Amino acid sequence: MTEPTETASPWYRSMRARRPDEHHRASTPLELLFDLCFVVAVAQAAVELHHAIAENHLGTGLIGYLTVFFAIWWAWMNFTWFATAFDTDDVPYRLTTLVQIAGGLVLAAGVSSAFERGDFTVITFGYVIMRLAMVAQWLRAARSDPEHRATALAYAVGITVVQLGWLLRLLLPEGLLLPAFLVLVVAELAVPALAERRGQPVWHPEHIAERYGLFTLIVLGESVLSATIALEAAFTETDHPIGLIALGVAGLVILFSMWWIYFEQPAHERLTTLKAALRWGYGHYFVFASAAATGAGLAVAVDYDLHIAHVGGLPAALATTVPVAVFVLVVWLLHLDHERMRRVSAAFPTAAALVVATSFTPAPIHLTALVMAVLTALLVAARRPASSVIG
């Protein structure tokens, strides 16, 4: 495996696999632009989930959110893993990536229609634009890199076939849309697992860990927005701001704790085999979706405190506590080195159970913040060497 080499023209480089041990590999400005544009889609999905819960449309809101978020996550994930192996940063690569970004913005434009009317037409077209641009990238890699040609062609064929399935799904009656969605999700997930078996997988562990970490920060940004909304409402929309200030502070504590436990240990150490990489990469659907949903839940809590939500106290609480609990459990499963952190390992599932239990108390958000703060403190304490303990 060699790093991309330039041909006679500086605007075009041979798309050969990059070395997985390449030094100083970091996210490029184009990757950061890609993430920035996906912020729009994530924010749209979170806003629609917030509105659906606040209007007491829990079932349709949750299904809509999970299906829309799959499209966002899967398109982002496929670009990220391709880029770690074949990013040439030349003009054709940049232009193809910009097409993918445009498809992401089309997807974002269709989120409201999907939630409000169950119309996934715009989302599907945006998604297919992104995925067919990805096919073009894989075909270029197949032409330039004989060593990985079989893998690249398997990706190109698999993605193309599944995209035809997404387009045909638009013709199905409403009753078959969800079953067809689940079948196509399985097909999408199967493509990398099958394609990577045709050759030596190529990924840069540190680069992948950084890319996932950056996207985690993006989805956690929804909680920042919700905490800000609570503080803004405290000072502008109520004569009794103390409760909303406390809610905003609790939201920030939850956010800070989620950030802390996610970045507590280096993730690249987990990416040692294809099986481990697939489990880690696929598992992040729940990390990303739960982090963004936490922001939506906090926004519901603000609406509830302002008496403008059409939902009871328990569902309003669960809108925050459930995604926080899911986040804690998935990070525990994906990130934690259980041997190294065995003293605190059991605290994660315990904290998740306690977070859900706070839903049945008068102050669920505040108690969730307390549980998360204690979990973070235990995690920090577990890192201290035994010799540093007083006495």
pLDDT in tens, 200-231: 667 778 888 889 999 999 888 877 776 777 66
How far is residue 15's CA from residue 34's CA, in Å, rounded to a whole number? Answer: 20
pLDDT tens digits for 48-71? 899 899 999 888 889 989 999 999
Q: At 380, which helix (H) or strand (E)?
A: helix 364-383
Give the pLDDT of residue 390: 40
Global pTM value: 0.87
The residue-averaged pLDDT of 70-74 equals 92
How far is residue 12's CA from residue 136's CA, in Å, rounded to a whole number? Answer: 15
Give the pLDDT of residue 387: 43
Give the pLDDT of residue 157: 95
Top-confidence residue, 190 or 222: 190
For 329-367, give one letter per residue: b (16+ CB within 10 A) or e.
bbbbbbbbeeeebeebbebbeebbebbbebbeeeebbbb
- Percent of the chain at pLDDT above 90? 46
Angle, CA of 110, 33 and 96, to the nearest 5°: 75
Give the pLDDT of residue 305: 86
Nearest to 372, CA basis, from 249, 286, 250, 283: 250
Give the pLDDT of residue 3: 44
Q: Would the pLDDT of 5 be above 50?
A: no
How far is residue 60's CA from residue 111's CA, in Å, rounded to a whole number? Answer: 13
Q: How confident is the model at residue 265 (pLDDT cuts 50, 70, 90)?
A: confident
- Mean pLDDT is lowest, of 59-73, 150-164, 211-225, 248-262, for 211-225
Q: How confident is the model at residue 6 (pLDDT cuts 50, 70, 90)?
A: very low
Q: For the chain, which residues make up each domain, given as ranges?
A: 29-198, 205-383
- Percent of the chain at pLDDT above 70? 89
How far is residue 200's CA from residue 90's CA, in Å, rounded to a whole number? Answer: 25
> Tokens in use for 186?
């399985």
Q: How confident is the model at residue 122 (pLDDT cuts 50, 70, 90)?
A: very high
How far is residue 93's CA from residue 98's CA, in Å, rounded to a whole number? Answer: 9
Residue 336 three-state SS: coil
Q: Would the pLDDT of 116 be above 90?
A: no
- Mean pLDDT is lowest, of 257-266, 306-315, 322-331, 338-347, for 338-347
Domain range 205-383, its CATH number among 1.20.1530, 1.10.3470, 1.10.287, 1.20.1410: 1.20.1410
> CA-CA-CA-CA torsion for 145, 147, 150, 156, nearest 10 degrees?
-30
Cβ neighbours of residue 180 closer than 8 Å, sequence gap 6 or more: 165, 169, 172
Q: Would the pLDDT of 276 be above 80?
A: no
Query: Using DSSP, how many helices (H) and how many strands (E) does the chain show?
Result: 14, 0
Top-confidence residue, 150 or 264: 150
* Amino acid identity at 208: I
Q: Would the pLDDT of 2 be above 60?
A: no
